[in-house]
Amino acid sequence: MMLRTSFSGAFRYSLLWSIVLAFQSYLDAQTFVSNAAPSMKIETASFGTVDDQPITRYTMINDHGHRASVMNFGATLLEVEVPDRDGNLANVNLSFDSLDRYVAGHPYFGSSVGRFCNRIGHAKFTIDGVEYPLTVNHGKHQLHGGIKNFSYQVWNAEPIEGEGHVAVRLTLVSPDGDNGFPGTVTATAEYRWNNDDELTIIYSATTDKPTHVNLTNHSYWNLGGVGSGTAKGYQATIAADLALDVDEDLIPTGKLNPVEGTPLDFRTAHTLGERIEQLPATKGYDHCYVVRGDAGTLRHAATVVDPATGRSLQISTTQPGIQLYTANHLGGGPDNANHGAHEAFCLETQHYPDAPNKPEFPSTLLEPGQTLQETTVHRFGVQAN
């Protein structure tokens, strides 16, 4: 009797201990699952072909499920999906649904622009006494690198995982004589996306002959969400005391004008539409600002806030200038993805337009053995009511 009681107690104790251990293992497993950090990732999908070359959409997804997509045609930024103050996700970058619209011609939606973004007066420059005539595609001038520029080229793409971010690195080799530019240039555009909803774009380039290079991203932002209407009510500040003086063709004269007392003054917050009617010649803003601070150092350049949704965009850059463009020439048709004038804004970080012909401007001359590298950070956030 005593033996049976002892055995029964030992059995009950053993069974109870097994249950305790099993429950503890379950809790440990649940703790591991709950503490495990979600993994940032990149998803790929076919986006069509150009001249039998595959075009791929790369979607970078952070731990919050916020997304930024790029493709290797034109090293182009596609959708950027970020939340408003209520947590609702929306794409804030104008883009097309199909590749055909990009190939046929478009207003540089999300494009990597080069070899030289913005304008070069009279489509020519001189290096070491040799004049280089460039392709003309904007009146008598060159705009954004000429005909079939970087925005219309198929880039090689490589998805990569960095420390605290995911990225897509795109590379293009531009041959000697491309649109009239001397030298074979190897250009790289790297898009990085992290858990702070920071989209970092790093442009770099090398050459085998002296040449001029000026690279930018030409995204059109609508912080209310694409299709939500005008951007005129957005509050903007730009860290600039000076803007470039230009002629009737928007070619810089070489002079820098104070913004104080003009419609270009965004040193304190103003809505984009508050003084836009004072700029009839350009139908809105299309002006290059001199970013405060030392070029080559990453510093604050601009902030834009949509009061309706709370979405904000802060831009920092190493570039000397930033071009504010309020989508003045979007016509509302299919070539513009049905978006009209002033339904978005661009803040293109860059060197100054026509710098090859303005020795007083920061130089865009790239020599063999040198590496151009410029970084711009777009940080998306939310402001409370």
**SS3 of residue 5 by DSSP:** helix
First to last CA, the chain: 78
User: CA 69 to CA 77: how far, in whole Å?
Assistant: 6
Is 141 annotated as catalytic? Answer: no
Q: 96, 106 in Cβ contact below 8 A?
A: yes
Active site residue 218: yes
Give the active site residue among 66, 106, 141, 218. Answer: 218
For residues 155 and 73, give the distance between their C-alpha atoms in angstroms, rounded to a whole number: 6
**Cα dihedral 118, 142, 250, 296 sign:** positive
- CA atoms of 319 and 352, how far apart (whole Å): 9
Catalytic residue among 190, 198, 348, 374: 348
Spatial distance between the Cα atoms of 69 and 278, rounded to a whole number of angstroms? 36
Q: Is the dihedral of CA 312, 317, 322, 325 positive or negative?
A: negative
How many Cα atoms within 13 Å fall on the side-chain side of residue 78? Answer: 22
d(CA 348, CA 118): 9
Nearest to 250 by CA among 278, 287, 220, 198: 287
Residues forming the active site:
218, 348
